[in-house]
Structure 1
């Protein structure tokens, strides 16, 4: 195992944001940390990068116990690189940005240039050496950040939401790059995401965090909002992005819900007799072991797993208007 965590907590402002009883992350694999916003994913990455200290508990790195002192963590940081969700680039050339870490490690000029060219070529941006780094697109910035991380020859790369704010073309390139560096260089890759669809396709292992704690089952379609009773006496849930759905009796106030993708049903929006449900357009389609995953943009992105027979009969396409029916057994009420 590259990391082993036991009894770890992290507290901010008197609130426990991370509470991990036991977690092992394998060496040489790609591991996804999944969960909604505020689940503790970024907090955990910061600890794994030796940039933050937990309030309690222990961490072993490559079977060595980590002492959370500056003198002990400093050399470990040379083996682990953290890529932030929005990588910071100096207002200089790409070459100058990539040189910075190498200069700190006292790498000679000729060797620096060789390393920079080699890694820019790997990410497909070898002609960007003299480009102004702060003027790059979001996808190009992420790819330069990967090249900059690789230039330091890390054993572990930690990526915080690497596909956030990246166009679909660069998403595919970044996914391919993460696979490549893991396979060819043996680098352990750990990334966070709230999108279980592409995370499952990339990762060898997945860890789901909810409320700062690892949970056994992967909850999907997690929505936060308010439950209130209407004049008609029904209880309805409303999230900040406008998603609305009926809830069982007795639920009121701030609440989080999870919608089981295997229990949801997709219908054509024009189908007769279709009343309540989430209306939207098909955003993404992918094949999985247990069926066809349809992602519907209904204000929030909602995943639905369709049996292949149903999918072939309905044949929904990207951009089609559909309605997601939500039977009562699909709704799980989480802690508020």
Structure 2
């Protein structure tokens, strides 16, 4: 039996999905369209000439050119955050062998939120550089706690136990966030805009702060993809194939925390992007994480950018925060997944 599963593991790591090239080309086309649409669409529409002026003619100081220049950082930031959340979701699903694992569902976003609000309330922090370290610490501690609680008992870390542990932890931490904010009106004003989840306040300094964490997290994800394929066959088979499952889970979870924590620190707790992007790519390409992980980065970037554009158009002349839009998209998906029998495990 083990030899059969081992051969399946080798086939999985060597097989290229049938439609990979087509999916890759279409994804890149959609990504380019999303970038252009993000520069053009909003409360003020910008023409083609305005886009060209804003991108290539820095000496031109027209209103449209300035609007485009402002949207460039926002667009890049939404691409980076969407990619980070997509890869983070893929890693969490692989590590927990849970198809509905996601930073928001497992409570990791809430843990990051708690540490950020504590920093606002007790340390008077207000910069992205300070947010990011607190969010990473909160995400790491919460992920460790949820996995520890979900692993208790004879059956170990089953998918349903991890979701229940994440939901309970998220509810408890959310109540702590509210308890800290209520007596501190200045913290509530500062935190409520961050908590909704938005890429509208993107800055080049924030992108520069975020980029190292994005690179490290994606490198960890890509380098651990083959071993995570073996882990999907079960711990015993993975160990037989030479995979150190404990070390692998720790490293992959660290990559997920880097990506999720950094994105949450700068954009707020945006949910469901990792869940949606990974499931779309798994549906199109199959379970091989060597392809699912990088493609989840692209699909996550597309989903978050489209959500940001939709929020601008729906809320015009203001805007609807991207976290609200992704929740409207992701919540029905979660219900559908929970109703399917295949949700029990990966």
TM-score range, shorter chain: under 0.3
Task: Give 1 or 2: higher helix fraction.
Answer: 2
Task: Give 1 or 2: higher strand fraction.
Answer: 1
TM-score normalised per structure 1 = 0.22
Higher relative contact order (CA 8 A, sep 6+): 2
Q: Larger Cα Rg: Structure 1 or Structure 2?
A: 1
